[in-house]
Structure 1
């Protein structure tokens, strides 16, 4: 056995519970602390209940999709990227890999802005997380985490498992205290929503991007699949991780409506969960939430950094990204991919200085960038089931998988609609230039740059990017 093979063998030992912890750690990040304010800006109790029902059911179907693909296609590593490539070709697979990576990297930007904004409540010089001081401190933290993660996946996974337990405590405490302080008359007044809320359907679609954001990470176990102790654990970890956090997300949102009027919740400084708890129990409630947020974000930061680098690494191993991204160190950490992620985050952190609302835009764009990869995964599952690939040899569960694949495809298509043209265009501004990496990879292999179908995809992405740039320039859309 070679040194590389020994290293791979020694590190590919993530248990099912560890992977489930990575899923929970990825999902329970900063987004949960924004839920009261973000939902109150859009809808009341009724709309929130419907929105969580739609989002929970849809994401459960997507989680089932990752489970069935992990079982039916265990040879495919880094699922989000690999499934798109297997189903629809190398170029769309590349786009899926890059989009997922960019989404994870934007999530890291959001985390730093959110931490600085939270501390900014007591240190005004940090503002809303987008001042020069905030960007400087975030940059120091960014490169500190880069050095930590380079030391190895196992070390980061252990830290993530500890932090996952620690950060759930203040969230559970919040739900219990908010229930104790719940005022039935306030909850009733918030039932139908405030006067500024639009039609019920618009209220529901208005919450979809934030629900996508908090559910990002449901795919975490499939991204780490090459490190799994047993491949069949990947699907189980996905479902276990999802079910562990869904009730928590919905509870945090709903109980908040019983503490303050919807209009007041909508105006709270983020993290709005802190403002709600402060109204319920006093100033110490805001401190508890702020400390919990920082612990939560730092834990999720580890998981998201690993997921981002892992996707680039596996894509490069499959020759769909330039070769320099396929290198890893003796700890089996893809150093160049991790470095590329850190550089991207650093650049976007600087850009946030010029943004009108860095926090919410980073959150929404993080969600929007991952919609196309999720949609392609659902479509691949549908293709696999309808063509009966792998089902001729093992037909058990075909009807169940067909229903799951159809529902997951419909849900992800609805998410693209709910995101709106604004975020689709901005996403394409990021997607289109990434083709440079695809061209580098093709040239390294001495292959033809684009097939006829790939040229069509390229033309559509460039046209969308140009339209997005024009829309930004003339003020049709803003960041």
Structure 2
């Protein structure tokens, strides 16, 4: 009897995965998050830096998908191949946490959107908001356990659902654009006179990372690609399309409202901008579009989060219990652990003054290690040249692009600041218990000498972060 053919994804589906992964809660909040820290000039520079850096990273994913086709489990597979077991684990842990934090930001933004009609939800971090969000988390959890695994189809439909409101926003805001307002906002305007351009641009860096999280979406599911070369092409096509949307949403908003007014908008701030142009129906339209698209995206990211743990466990970077599947072929152990972490993060939003912004910046900080290690792995391969022996053409270009991507990712660590770096260690260090379990299951020493030093440094940073939180020196 012939075996059933495994589902394979064509280029349009892979591209939709990239677009769907990147276009989430972040783009709907851009007018406010940019308006808080910079004017039009700073925004243009920020998108130029982010666009260039992320383009280099997209090229890195394209190169690795072609040169290392056997590494088909996502960004953490590159980290493990290039830098050993522990850094591979940390990359997997970081990426999984990003998926969980991204889902938390979805719930916060949904409840913030509803808060405009129902004040009990506030900005998405009230007790009522967390309670309703928690119910939603576990409803989706049990739906997935019943076998809701059509992630590719759902993601494609949701991508269309979220792009249509954004395109309509761009049309009406473009028609309502006022050059005189844009001119006032170009250098920042009132309230930013004392802030230099460097400070303004730096303040946007974690925001730009957040909206690009998902650029690796095709690589995570690369083993399902019909053609390996489609993975890299889908990444580039998806990236360029999303970059155009991000820049247009940001820059056109500066021509509708003064920057201080943009900064005061509640999220989703795209709703407030469109309302200023067309009236109340604009805010309702964007809000409905956001809730529909974000709920669908939440399901896709929940599946992705479980896939990360499941794949990492298959690679022996996580404990073996995470490979357990139920009769519906759902990795139930990975799913339970994922939604338990999401529930914990939701509870913690009760103690954050700006829960969405905290989730945004912490997500961006956590993704930096996986991105940095991926770029550094590509740089290592191009520098050593071993995989280029049979096909040396393009090695020089790959070397330059990988070097620029590595430099960009390292620069983001600096731009993010010490606060979020330390907060990320509070997650990385306790999470290391999963690595200890995995190593003991394999009968391997837990750490090499270098990894022992790395863990000691990370633990010291985590202790410092906890002390800062306890004394109020680090605020959330």
TM-score range, shorter chain: over 0.9
* 1:329 Cα deviation from its structure 2 partner: 4.0
Aligned partners of 1:27 and 1:300 also within 8 Å = no
Once the two structures are superposed, the pairs formed by residues 433-472 of structure 1 within 5 Å of their partners are 433-472=430-469
* 1:299 Cα deviation from its structure 2 partner: 2.8
Of residues 189, 200, 203 in structure 2, which corresponds to 1:194?
189
Aligned partners of 1:149 and 1:156 also within 8 Å = no
* 1:300 Cα deviation from its structure 2 partner: 2.2
Aligned partners of 1:20 and 1:241 also within 8 Å = yes
Of residues 11, 15, 26 in structure 1, which corresponds to 2:21?
26
* 1:77 Cα deviation from its structure 2 partner: 2.0
Give unpaired runs (5+ residues) of structure 2. Answer: none
Q: CA deviation digits over 1:161-216, x for unaligned, max 9?
A: 11111211110111111111111111111111124321111111100111111100
Of residues 271, 275, 289 in structure 1, which corresponds to 2:272?
275
Larger mean CA deviation between 116-125 and 297-306 belongs to 297-306
* 1:132 Cα deviation from its structure 2 partner: 2.0
2:289 match: 292
2:136 match: 141
* 1:153 Cα deviation from its structure 2 partner: 7.2
1:105 match: 100
Once the two structures are superposed, the pairs formed by residues 53-452 of structure 1 within 5 Å of their partners are 53-152=48-147, 155-197=150-192, 198-329=195-326, 331-452=328-449
* 1:309 Cα deviation from its structure 2 partner: 1.6
The RMSD of aligned alpha carbons is 1.5
Mapped to 2, the partners of 1:283 and 1:58 lie a distance apart of 38
Mapped to 1, the partners of 2:413 and 2:368 lie a distance apart of 6
* 1:261 Cα deviation from its structure 2 partner: 0.6
Q: CA deviation digits over 1:129-169, x for unaligned, max 9?
A: 11222112111211222233345575222122111112111
SS in 2 for 1:390: helix
Mapped to 1, the partners of 2:335 and 2:106 lie a distance apart of 17
Q: CA deviation digits over 1:420-454, x for unaligned, max 9?
A: 00000000011001111111111112222221111
Q: Could you state the TM-score of these two structures normalised by the residue count of structure 1?
A: 0.96
Q: CA deviation digits over 1:44-85, x for unaligned, max 9?
A: 111111111111111111011011001011101222100000
Q: CA deviation digits over 1:8-42, x for unaligned, max 9?
A: x6444222211211111111111001100111111
Regions of 4+ moved over 6 Å: none
Mapped to 1, the partners of 2:321 and 2:224 lie a distance apart of 21
Mapped to 1, the partners of 2:308 and 2:385 lie a distance apart of 27
Aligned partners of 2:154 and 2:300 also within 8 Å = no
Of residues 30, 50, 56 in structure 1, which corresponds to 2:45?
50
Q: In 2 relative to 1, CA 166–370 (structure 1 residues): closer, same or farther, beyond 3 Å?
A: same
Aligned partners of 2:173 and 2:256 also within 8 Å = yes
Q: In 2 relative to 1, CA 426–451 (structure 1 residues): closer, same or farther, beyond 3 Å?
A: same
Aligned partners of 1:371 and 1:416 also within 8 Å = yes
1:38 match: 33
Aligned partners of 1:34 and 1:271 also within 8 Å = yes
Aligned partners of 2:149 and 2:303 also within 8 Å = no
SS in 1 for 2:463: helix
Aligned partners of 1:328 and 1:334 also within 8 Å = yes
- Number of corresponding residues: 474
Aligned partners of 1:38 and 1:266 also within 8 Å = yes
Give unpaired runs (5+ residues) of structure 1. Answer: none
Mapped to 2, the partners of 1:228 and 1:151 lie a distance apart of 25
Mapped to 2, the partners of 1:69 and 1:469 lie a distance apart of 38
Larger mean CA deviation between 280-289 and 141-150 belongs to 141-150
